[in-house]
Amino acid sequence: MLTPLTIGTHTLSSRLIVGTGKYATYAQMGEALERSGADCVTVAVRRERLIDADGKNLLDFVDPKRYTILPNTAGCFNAEDAVRVARLGREILSGLENPGADWVKLECLADKRTLLPDPVETLQATEQLVADGFQVLVYSTDDPVIAKRLKNAGATSVMPAGSPIGSGQGVLNANNIRICLEYLKEGDPTYPVIVDAGVGAASDVAAAMELGVDGVLLNTAIAHAQDPLAMADAMRLACEAGRLSWLSGRIPKRLYATASSPEEGVITWQPN
Amino acid sequence: MLTPLTIGTHTLSSRLIVGTGKYATYAQMGEALERSGADCVTVAVRRERLIDADGKNLLDFVDPKRYTILPNTAGCFNAEDAVRVARLGREILSGLENPGADWVKLECLADKRTLLPDPVETLQATEQLVADGFQVLVYSTDDPVIAKRLKNAGATSVMPAGSPIGSGQGVLNANNIRICLEYLKEGDPTYPVIVDAGVGAASDVAAAMELGVDGVLLNTAIAHAQDPLAMADAMRLACEAGRLSWLSGRIPKRLYATASSPEEGVITWQPN
Amino acid sequence: MLTPLTIGTHTLSSRLIVGTGKYATYAQMGEALERSGADCVTVAVRRERLIDADGKNLLDFVDPKRYTILPNTAGCFNAEDAVRVARLGREILSGLENPGADWVKLECLADKRTLLPDPVETLQATEQLVADGFQVLVYSTDDPVIAKRLKNAGATSVMPAGSPIGSGQGVLNANNIRICLEYLKEGDPTYPVIVDAGVGAASDVAAAMELGVDGVLLNTAIAHAQDPLAMADAMRLACEAGRLSWLSGRIPKRLYATASSPEEGVITWQPN
Amino acid sequence: MLTPLTIGTHTLSSRLIVGTGKYATYAQMGEALERSGADCVTVAVRRERLIDADGKNLLDFVDPKRYTILPNTAGCFNAEDAVRVARLGREILSGLENPGADWVKLECLADKRTLLPDPVETLQATEQLVADGFQVLVYSTDDPVIAKRLKNAGATSVMPAGSPIGSGQGVLNANNIRICLEYLKEGDPTYPVIVDAGVGAASDVAAAMELGVDGVLLNTAIAHAQDPLAMADAMRLACEAGRLSWLSGRIPKRLYATASSPEEGVITWQPN
């Protein structure tokens, strides 16, 4: 029903990309991934211990034949570190014969407290990784100017945050996401823009998709829900719902159905 | 996966109830109903001409074997009129052997401009229809006190508006819906509360369900979308997504993931 | 600079009306009233003990020569009770030679938990008090239909709640306040509409006034602030600021200054 | 009543800083400045023609004995240009014996369409101007990481945008402003943080101040209001109101006054 999402040389049938961190067990993670409907999952190259408390290996639960693995540089706080970790991820994935060896989700964070992205280091790392042959999917703030600079630096996809990682607030500044879309899709309508981080509930995913972004990437909202498996279902459905809702052309907002002008026109001058 | 919704003696597998008005053609309506996944559809007893421009009958497109028809009193502006129309609907549906003959969606509107419900006439009509043996699903404002009075008058379900009919603004006052839920489900957790009216996009449906309501009723958002069929799909998915999201126990909202207190704690006193 | 506010036969220079409850001491209350700039204060006829812990009398701190006292029926949960209390207030104020003897702020609440107004009892009490010669300023929900019914019943001013009493949430449903203004000022532009209850901060007062209401009534936001006196200053200034802002004709909201259409136009159909 | 605002070596009695652009005439501008209560006004070094259609000189209407002039680099789209313009402003103001010769409001914009700041060029220009002895007040996005980098580069004040210049949307992302305050005031509580751009109405100013910022800078909201002079009054009052409201310690937000937990606690898990 929905067209696939093309990101560089990769084509995904689901527009939801999910992380693999923070689950109680790898078994739970494996089932949540399955139910999320994602065919691309992101794995932190450095942070994941790869072996859980029961001695299980993460990769036993993420079938590389089924999922395209998107290695990420979570836990990196400068460009140098991020570049090193990205290369390490490429090496590991090459050995697995997974198509994800040639791309990377770049995260260059400012500090451990807020986990906000550092635009300066991120930009520098993007340039280096692009030069190094990577397809770079770059985690960014929602600042449209930085987003455009990252695209100009060769990023395959820019992924603005809806709100801080793990904060569960959804898209706080729809205005910025709209301008990101204007900037990034100008003359290039298929350039993939993905909201990454901040989602808390299914309605956040749907609302993000209704802004016209191409996909949503999330992790904590599923992994830390009371019932991660049911939440994975919710997110799968919400992503499709939001995409369809965007494509279907929603009705305008009005004060009431027969009001002569849309709701927001009310704010103009009207002294009594 | 999801438990059915019980409203009085009726049990519905879908928590989305859709209207039949405002479609370009009955054929389009029939397909939109199908794709919405609803097993209950509401039909305006008085307003629907029942025969469209092509000479087709509405009921040729709403199989009474498949759908439970919920007759409604749209277009009634006082209690007397609404009661009369409800009885007419019962008569018609009895002839169709549809289980919907014993219930009614009560609308008593204040005026044609805003289509807002009139609480006083609505309350009076509820009392009369309950006395007359109807299971009354009553369209109401989001005022919790009126909602409680309607339940006390015997309504089978109270259906507060998210925003004015056809306005596409979603739930404008989540606070009121939360207090409605407190009032109506106190000591009676399965009492059905359904958001009726105001929905514009899929995310509105999901967000409404995430408040803990039991279902959503909508019409214009599908019928007047640019692509009603795809929007029907979107709404079906969003309703399930929102229900699952509510049941799954979402993560709390925080300023950032490691902030020591939830986001809204920030508003307390903090001079510098 | 600003025109006075006329409510029935009363004319007030300030558009802020404040309550007298919940202060630590009457002395603090007296100073807060002074700094709020209000020339009308509302006093609960029944609830106020009139004598505080130090043996002081409330009226020693509310100079009836300076303030017009607006007696209110706080603490009444049905029409009969409210009417009785209103009459008691008239008697007391007549003895004080205060002009406030002929009006009343009517509150008929649904329960002690939420302090939400009960529209049915409120409507009934309004009719009785109007018949009894009172100028009735009536506390209401933000439901426009109830607001219109209250005006039709003879209320001198309708005072919709921004949010529940003491909840500090400001105006939760600006849409409803706008429709209240449409209904109540249709053909009667000077009919006074006052937001009563729910205000938490100065910006809430300004935002309410920017909707075009004629005044704001508040109590808890000042009385329970950490520094009630400074908050009284804040509210005085915010009320004037909001009124002027409304009268001055604000700039429209746009995605960015040179965007071809206002911000909210963005929500229409735009598939890619 | 309110403490003055110290920015580097400058001390201002008003926390509202206003621009001088976009007025119908210099005479109107002069009166609006007066009524805004500002003692610091910002003047675009390059963009202002300095002579209006009537042959009047801007500086005839901005008494340099009364106002501290804050020269700004509006209209600059890269660091080199901005640095050149800043030096030009210093030269001009030195000749006027105005204290504003030693500081500058730095704007490095990305493009003429959105007027969004370019963080990369802005950072570079900040470093150069600081090295050149300027006190730099820097217009920035609301990205907390960029804000911290600008402070680390020596900026005297960081001035995050509430929303795009001239967009009239107020503070779109209060979360980001809060984290900016955390970052910039950590161990340095008097570091001045000023919301610059995006304000549309008086309530926007009050709401910004209630976040704990030290001041607000605006221009279009006054200059393009229907009645700029009355709007200048509104903004003066709103700025004081918001500051006092912040300092006074507002009441918490709750679902209703007696609810056992603050409103936002409602979002946790609660299946039925």
Q: What is the pLDDT of residues C88-107, one digit of tens each?
A: 989 888 887 788 889 999 99
A16-30, B53-67, D203-217: which is most confident? D203-217
In chain A, what is the greatest distance between 2 CA atoms, to the nearest angstrom? 74
Q: Where are the alpha helices (DSSP H) in chain C?
A: 26-36, 79-95, 119-131, 144-152, 174-185, 202-209, 220-223, 228-248
Kindly determine whether residue C249 and residue A271, on different chains, have CB atoms separated by under 8 Å.
Answer: yes
**Which one is predicted more confidently, D184 or A57?**
D184
Residue range(s) defining the domain that contains residue D174: 5-248
Contact C176 B173 (CB under 8 A): yes
Structure tokens at C23: 């202060």
Residue A26 in any domain: the answer is: yes
Q: Quick check: D88 contacting A, CB < 8 Å?
A: no
Of C212, C265, C271, nearest to A270 by CB-CB distance is C212
Q: Which two tokens stand for residue C214?
A: 């004629």
The rounded distance, in Å, linking the Cα atoms of B75 and C81 is: 37
Measured between CB atoms, which of B145, B167, B175 is closest to C118?
B145
Nearest to A200 by CA among A146, A233, A164: A164
Does residue D256 belong to any structural domain of this protein? no
Instruction: Establish how many alpha carbons lie within 13 A of residue C49's alpha carbon, considering only the half-sphere containing its beta carbon.
Output: 10
B266 at interface of C, judged by CB pairs closer than 8 A: no
C48 touches chain B (CB under 8 A): no
Q: State the average pLDDT over residues D196-224.
A: 97
pLDDT tens-digit series, residues B149-169: 999 999 999 999 999 999 999
Return the beta strands (E) in A73-121 as ranges: 103-106
Check which CATH number belongs to the domain holding A185 and give it: 3.20.20.70
Distance CA(A257)–CA(B164), nearest Å, equals: 7
User: Does C146 contact B119 at a Cβ distance shorter than 8 Å?
Assistant: yes
Residue B222's alpha-carbon distances to B35, B51, B70, D93, in angstroms, are 11, 21, 18, 62
CA–CA dist A195, A246 (Å, integer): 15
Summarised one tens digit per residue, pLDDT across range D127-165 is 999 999 999 999 999 999 999 999 999 999 999 999 999
| pLDDT score of C271 | 35
Which has the closest alpha carbon to B136: B127, B145, B144? B127
Residue A113: burial class (beta carbons within 10 Å; 0-12, 13-18, 19+): middle
> Between chains, do B202 and A206 touch, taking CB under 8 Å as contact?
yes
If we measure between CA atoms, which residue out of D65, D58, D64, D72 comes closest to residue D103?
A: D72
The 3-class SS string of B29-61 reads HHHHHHHHCCCEEEEECCCCCCECCCCCEHHHC
Instruction: Return the percent helix, strand and coil in chain D, to nearest 5.
Output: 40, 20, 40
CB contact under 8 A, C227 and D247: yes
Q: Closest to C255 (Cβ–Cβ): which among D167, D224, D257?
A: D167
The token pair at A123 is: 């930009």
DSSP B211: T
Pairwise CA distance, residues B172 & C143, whole Å = 13
Residue D265 lies in a domain: no
pLDDT in tens, C110-166: 999 999 999 999 999 999 999 999 999 999 999 999 999 999 999 999 999 999 999
Question: Which one, of A31, A18, A234, lies nearest residue B1 by Cα?
Answer: A234
ipTM for the whole complex:
0.93
In whole angstroms, give the CA distance from residue D168 to residue D161: 11
The secondary structure element, H or E, covering residue B123 is: helix B119-131
- Report the Cα B73 to chain-centroid distance in Å: 14
Q: Is A220 annotated as a binding residue?
A: yes
Q: Which residue among D252, D268, D270 places its CB closest to the CB of B268?
A: D252
Contact with chain A for residue C262, Cβ under 8 A: yes
Task: Note the pLDDT tens digit of each residue in D240-266.
Answer: 999 999 999 999 999 998 765 554 433
For residue B128 the two structure tokens come to: 């009369």
D76 touching C, CB under 8 A? no
Instruction: Give the least confident one: B54-63, B83-92, C25-34, D63-72.
Output: B54-63
- Beta carbons within 10 angstroms of residue C219's beta carbon: 25
Q: What is the per-residue pLDDT for D97?
A: 78
Query: For chain C, how big is the Rg over CA atoms in Å?
Result: 19
* Structural contact between residues C201 and D250, judged by C-beta atoms closer than 8 angstroms: yes
**Alpha-carbon span B78 to D114, nearest angstrom:** 52
Q: Which of D205, D237, D244 sits opposite C240 (nearest CB)?
A: D237
Q: In this complex, is the C-beta atom of D153 within 8 Å of any C-beta atom belonging to chain A?
A: no
Any bridge partners for residue D160, and if so which? D140
Q: Helix, strand, coil shares of chain B as percentages rounded to 5?
A: 40, 20, 40
B176/C173 touch (CB, cutoff 8 Å), yes or no: yes
Q: How far is CA A252 from the centre of its chain?
A: 28
Gap between the Cα atoms of C146 and C160, Å rounded: 10
Q: What is the pLDDT of residue A266?
A: 33
Query: Any CB–CB contact under 8 A between D260 and chain C?
Result: no
Interface partners of C (3+ CB pairs, < 8 Å)?
A, B, D
For residues D42 and D48, the answer to whether their CB atoms sit within 8 Å is no
Catalytic residue numbers of D, as ranges: 105
B50 has a pLDDT exceeding 70: no
Q: Nearest Cα to D120, choosing from A156, A77, A171, A126?
A: A126
Q: Report the mean per-residue pLDDT for chain B.
A: 91
Neighbouring chains to A with at least 3 Cβ pairs closer than 8 Å: B, C, D
Computed over its alpha carbons, how large is the radius of gyration of chain D?
19
Confirm or reject contact between C268 and chain D (CB < 8 A). no
Q: Catalytic amino acids of B?
A: 105
pLDDT at B156 (0 to 100): 98
Residue D263 lies in a domain: no
Q: What's the rounded Cα separation, in Å, for the pair B143 and B141?
A: 5
Q: Find out whether C166 is annotated in a ligand binding site.
A: yes
Specify the pLDDT at position D160: 98
Q: Determine the residue type at B106.
A: L
- Residue C47 corresponds to which amino acid? R
Cβ pair C212:A175 closer than 8 A: no
Which residue from C minimizes the CA distance to A261?
A: C265
pLDDT at B266 over 90: no
Joined tokens for residue D186: 């950590």
Q: What percent of chain C has pLDDT over 70?
A: 91
Q: How far off is chain D from C157, nearest CA to CA, in Å?
A: 24
Section C212-237 average pLDDT: 97
Instruction: Look at residue D269 and tell me whether its pLDDT is greater than 90.
Output: no
Positions of chain A with pLDDT under 50: 263-272
Q: A108 - beta bridge partners?
A: none
Give the whole-angstrom CA distance, residue A19 versus residue A36.
11
For tokens 């804000």, the residue is: D147
- What total number of domains does chain C contain? 1
C-alpha span between D104 and D85 (Å, rounded): 10
| pLDDT tens digits, B101-142 | 899 999 999 999 999 999 999 999 999 999 999 999 999 999
Window 200-259 of B, Cβ < 8 Å to A:
200-207, 210, 220-221, 224-228, 230-231, 233-238, 240-245, 247-259
Q: How many Cβ pairs closer than 8 A exist between chain B and C?
A: 66
> CB-based contacts of A84: which residues, under 8 Å, 6+ apart?
none
What ranges in A119-253 are assigned the alpha helix state H? 119-131, 144-152, 174-185, 202-209, 220-223, 228-248
Q: How many CB atoms lie within 10 A of CB C151?
A: 22
Highest mean pLDDT among A59-63, B51-55, D79-83: D79-83
Tell me the pTM.
0.94
Q: What tokens appear for C76 in the block? A: 């009444």
Q: In chain D, which residues have their Cβ closer than 8 Å to the Cβ of A148?
A: 110
Question: What phi-psi label fits residue A50: left (phi over 0), alpha (psi between -120 and 50 degrees) or beta?
Answer: left
Q: Cα separation of B12 and C225, whole Å?
A: 49
| Tens of pLDDT, residues B177-226 | 999 999 999 999 999 999 998 999 999 999 999 999 999 999 999 999 99
Higher pLDDT: A44 or C245? It is C245
Q: Among all chains, which residue has been given the structure tokens 């004598």?
A: C51
- Determine whether the annotation assigns residue A190 to a binding site: no
Nearest to D109 by CA among A144, A150, C263: A144
Q: Which residue has the higher pLDDT, B65 or B131?
A: B131
Average pLDDT over residues D193-221: 97
CA distances from D239 to A238, D19, D23 (A): 42, 15, 21
In the prediction, which pLDDT does D1 show?
62
Q: Closest residue of C to B110, CA-based?
A: C145
pLDDT score at B57: 78
What pLDDT is stored for residue A263 in this prediction? 47
**Residue D98 Ramachandran class (φ > 0 left, ψ -120 to 50 alpha, else beta):** beta
Determine the straight-line distance between the first and last CA of chain A, rounded to whole angstroms.
Answer: 52
D59: confidence class by pLDDT, cuts 50, 70, 90:
confident
Is C120 in CB contact (< 8 Å) with chain A? no
D253 closest CB neighbour out of B249, B267, B269: B267
pLDDT value, residue A114:
94
Alpha-carbon gap, residue C246 to C256, rounded angstroms:
22
Asked if the structure places residue C23 within a domain, the reply is yes
* C52 vs B76 pLDDT, higher one: B76
Query: Hey, is C60 helix, strand or coil?
Result: helix
By CB atoms closer than 10 A (0-12, 13-18, 19+), residue B9 is: exposed
Task: List, in sequence order, every beta strand (DSSP E) within chain B.
Answer: 5-7, 10-12, 16-19, 40-44, 68-72, 103-106, 135-140, 157-160, 194-196, 215-218
Q: Between chains, do C185 and A272 touch, taking CB under 8 Å as contact?
A: yes
C242: tokens are 């909001």
Percent residues over pLDDT 70 in chain D? 91
Q: What is the DSSP letter of B100?
A: G
> Is there a contact between B144 and C114 if contact means CB atoms under 8 Å apart?
yes
Q: What pLDDT shows up at residue C60?
A: 84
Tell whether C267 lies on the interface with A, counting CB pairs under 8 A.
yes
**Is C188 in CB contact (< 8 Å) with chain A?**
no
Chain Cα centroid distance, residue A53: 28
